[in-house]
Amino acid sequence: MSIKKLTHLFSLALLLLAPAGLFASENAAHSDNGAAERKEYIKHHLLDNHDFHIIGNISMPLPVLFWDQGAHMAMSSVFEHGTKVAEIDGKFYKIEHAKIIPTDASGTPLEMHGEHPREVAIDYSITKNVVVIMFVCVLMFWLFRGMAKNYQQDLVPKGAAKFFEPLVLFVRDEIAIPNIGEKHYKKYMGFLLSVFFFIWIINLIGLTPLGINVTGNIAITAALSLMTLFITFYTSKSTYWAHIFWMPGVPVPMKIILAPIELLGVIIKPFALLIRLYANIKAGHIVLMSIIAIMYLFENWGAKGAFLGLSFFLNLIELLVAFLQAYIFTMLSALYFGAASEERHHEEAHH
For residues 278 and 216, is the Cβ–Cβ distance under 8 A? yes
Q: Give the pLDDT confidence score for residue 51 in this predicted structure.
A: 83
**Per-residue confidence at 27, pLDDT binned at 50, 70, 90?**
very low
* Rounded distance between C-alpha atoms, residue 122 and residue 241, angstroms: 38
Give the whole-angstrom CA distance, residue 311 versus residue 317: 10
The mean per-residue pLDDT over the stretch 212-223 comes to 88
Same domain assignment for residues 220 and 315: yes
Say what the pTM is: 0.79
Number of structural domains (the chain) is 2
Tell me if 20 is assigned to some domain. Answer: no
Query: Is residue 175 domain-shared with residue 307, that is, in the same domain?
Result: yes
Q: Are 14 and 208 in contact (CB under 8 A)?
A: no
Q: Closest Cα partner for 216 from 60, 44, 66?
A: 44
Closest CA to 63 of 52, 50, 54, 53: 50
Asked if residue 318 lies in contact with residue 341, where contact means CB atoms within 8 angstroms, the answer is no
Summarised one tens digit per residue, pLDDT across range 28-76 is: 434 456 666 667 667 767 778 888 877 767 778 889 999 988 899 989 8
Question: Is residue 93 a contact partner of residue 103, using CB atoms and an 8 Å limit?
Answer: yes
Q: Say yes or no: 151 and 299 in one domain.
A: yes
Q: Are residues 119 and 195 in the same domain?
A: no
Q: What is the mean pLDDT of residues 106-114?
A: 85
Question: Are residues 73 and 211 both part of a single domain?
Answer: no
Q: Does residue 254 sit in the same domain as residue 274?
A: yes
**Residue 167 and residue 97 share a domain:** no
Q: pLDDT of 5-15, one tens digit each? A: 333 333 333 33
**Are 275 and 339 in the same domain?**
yes
Q: How many alpha carbons fall within 13 Å on the CB side of residue 314?
A: 20
349 assigned to some structural domain: no
- Is the same domain home to 294 and 162? yes
Whether 185 and 303 map to the same domain: the answer is: yes
Q: Establish if 31 belongs to a structural domain.
A: no
Residues 177, 82: one domain?
no
Q: Which amino acid is at 144?
A: F
Residue 117: domain span: 61-126
Residue ending a domain, among 106, 126, 146, is 126
Please say whether the beta carbons of 277 and 196 come within 8 A: no
Does 44 reside within a domain? no
Is 301 inside any structural domain?
yes
